[in-house]
Chains A and B, each alone.
Chain A
Amino acid sequence: MGERLLTVDGLSTHFFTYAGVVKAVNGVSFTLDRKETLGIVGESGSGKTVAALSLMRLIPDPPGKIVEGSLMLGDRDLRKLSDEEIRQVRGNDIAMIFQDPMTSLNPVLKIGNQIAEAIILHQDKGKGEAWKMAAELLDRVGIPDAEKRVNQYPFEFSGGMRQRAMIAMAISCNPDILIADEPTTALDVTIQAQIIDVIEEMQQAYESGVILITHDLGVVAEIADKVMVMYGGRTVEYGGIDEIFYNPHHPYTWGLLGSLPRLDQTEKTRLTPIKGQPPDLIALPSGCPFVGRCLYERPTCRNQWPALEIVGPEHGVNCWIPEDERREVRASLPHFQEYAK
């Protein structure tokens, strides 16, 4: 793969509330290379969005704070940048596409204005030129009649069109890193694939690294090169896309894969949802956050966080279950029996 763009090491982001400290992200580490796509997977509240916002230092403070870890963008430490410097990074080096296109665009400003302002800010272009570029970008992300559309307001766009406009805005300054936070969740199923295609296309064209945050393993399977699985603010497993899908080691990953619909589904491999509630991030156990929902938990799980165990090339897992036992249990799960064959 290409050059290393981003190295995150031991990132912890907490929110300080009346009820206690919400440990939204707890010691998360990952890297991103040029042209690479990292999928961050987890359910709502697992800390994936907070981790992404931390990269751009967009956590509202108070009550949120990045309490630990280093965030290296190339050789720059994002945590040490001044406010002015981090603003230069936002939109220019790292850009973000948000989940809900209905609420993520300013309702009272024209689409063109909202795209052009980033160009004017980061690329030293005049207003006229920036608007022209905005129209070109809209055209590029597949919005027909872009010359006219650029003068319209968000409410005149459909959901899918708005998300395309968001993508145009994000790529307007040719960022090294593109973060897409659940970019398809709020959209119709028919539109979802199109949006993913656009993101992929733009990645190719601009040679960016992409961080795709989603709870949908199907989307990840489509475009990610590697996957990080988060649960309760922690990374429970990470690895290359094939490793995660065909050689998963964490019970939570098994659960996620077990709840993924598949074309070759048979009666035996019916969807099995993960039972139980997501954890209370204010009262996390000192050990693995998955306790209580994990079917294979043991006494140590509750009290101690397991060390990272390398189980393959670029593949790590944090779990107390011994490796051979894990393979054994996995082989007995209906969902993985076909892999075993």
Chain B
Amino acid sequence: MITYIVRRLFQLVIVLIGVTIITFLIMFAIPGDPARQLAGKNATPERIAAIRLQLGLNRSLPVQYVKFVGRLAHGDLGESYQLQKPVLQMIWENAPNTIQLALAAVLIELLGIPLGIYSALRQYTFWDTTLTTAALIIWGIPVFVLGLFMQWFFGLKLNLLPLIGAGDNVLWIIPANWNSFASLILPAVTLGLIEVAYISYMQRASMLEVIRSDYIRTARAKGLSERKVVTKHAFKNAVIPVMTIAGIDLGALMGGAILTETVFARPGIGLMIYQAIGARDLPVVAGGVLFATLVYVFANLFVDLGYAWVDPRIRLEG
């Protein structure tokens, strides 16, 4: 396990270096004048000159990169030219809503596991076919399309839930009141439903593979009841690969959260990025993307360590 953790952390460092290099290259090494890009289209020549000096753009690229990383390490992600606010502060203000949405979607996503298992155990039946077909259709629905129709149906037609916005939180990410919770439901279900479809499809496949495996036949040959075979022998083996997939899919979830926020005009990193794109406010877009990437990379690390601990082959051998 320790070897595994060390190796995994080492890999994390490499990925972090790579991520910063690529972000740096996109922001600073693109054709054109980075200072002008970073300052925005309405900036005065004095401001552009100031930025150029501040960022050391007259130095060589490697030096600039080291400076860039140094600024990142101090939490300096630059300043939004549009709002004249530090990007880090904007991220800090917007992060709770996004993380709240992502976590809620993950909770909903987990429903895919029992659905997939049910489908696999009832293979060739009506319900299996129905669930699998539904999963494939929903899997392919772009999240903003689903969001628009959810908003229209549950918000506008049935008038059940708030159409847009977000409420107050306590403890950073816990909805403070009913309104706050209600405004979370539609975005979370929109984002979660697509993930449920994906995860249930994978879980079904994984369960089918396990249920036909040799060791399940061994378990049956012992005379265990079908229930015991599934709960004791199949469940863990079938869920481990799906958890891996779910961990990697967190990236898609982060991307989906951004689009969902845009549809539901819900304050968060996504809406922040969307508004910054409209104004071509590059520091905010890059800062937002970097933040989402870091959340994803670290969430992935925890998922990996989690399943390494569950799976004795990794836990004991490293």
List chain A positions with a Cβ less than 8 A from chain B: 56, 58, 60, 62, 87-92, 95-96, 98, 100, 103-109, 114, 117-118, 121-122, 153, 155-156, 166, 169
Contacts and interface: CB of A to CB of B under 8 A. Distances in A.
Contact of B221 (A58, A60, A107): A58
A98 B220 contact: no
A62 B223 contact: no
A58 B240 CA distance: 26
Interface stretch (B92-100, B131-139, B265-273, B308-316): B308-316
25 contacts: A58-B217, A62-B124, A89-B223, A90-B220, A90-B223, A91-B221, A95-B221, A96-B218, A98-B217, A103-B213, A104-B215, A104-B217, A104-B218, A105-B218, A106-B233, A107-B313, A108-B310, A108-B312, A117-B222, A121-B223, A153-B316, A155-B312, A155-B317, A156-B316, A166-B218
Contacts of A109: 232-233
B74 interface: no
Contacts of A100: 214
Contacts of B214: 98, 100, 103-104
B236 interface: yes
Contacts of A108: 236-237, 240, 310-313
Interface string B225-240: 1000000110011001
A333 B218 CA distance: 43
Nearest to A93: B223
A58 B220 contact: yes
A98 B240 CA distance: 25
A88 B212 contact: no
B222 A90 contact: yes
Given A103-B213, A104-B214, A153 B221 contact: no
B185 to A, nearest CB: 37
A118 B215 contact: no
A72 to B, nearest CB: 19
A180 to B, nearest CB: 12
Interface of B: 124, 212-215, 217-225, 232-233, 236-237, 240, 310-313, 316-317
B217 A153 contact: no
A95 B222 CA distance: 7
Contacts of A118: 222-223
A88 B223 contact: yes
Nearest to B236: A108
Contact of A122 (B220, B221, B223): B223
A105 B312 contact: no
A98 B237 CA distance: 20
A179 to B, nearest CB: 9
Contacts of B215: 103-107
B24 to A, nearest CB: 43
B222 A91 contact: yes
Nearest to A99: B214
Contacts of B212: 60
A98 B220 CA distance: 12
A89 B219 CA distance: 13
Contacts of B224: 87, 91, 117, 121
A58 B170 CA distance: 56
A206 B233 CA distance: 28
A117 B218 CA distance: 12
Contacts of B233: 106, 109
Contact of B237 (A56, A92, A107): A107
A121 B217 contact: no
A209 to B, nearest CB: 17
B303 to A, nearest CB: 17
A17 to B, nearest CB: 13
A96 B222 CA distance: 8
Contacts of A166: 218
A175 to B, nearest CB: 10
Given A90-B221, A106-B237, A153-B316, 7 more contacts: A90-B222, A96-B221, A104-B214, A107-B215, A108-B311, A118-B222, A121-B223
Contacts of B237: 106-108
A28 B240 CA distance: 42
Contacts of A56: 221
B119 to A, nearest CB: 16
Contacts of A58: 217, 220-221
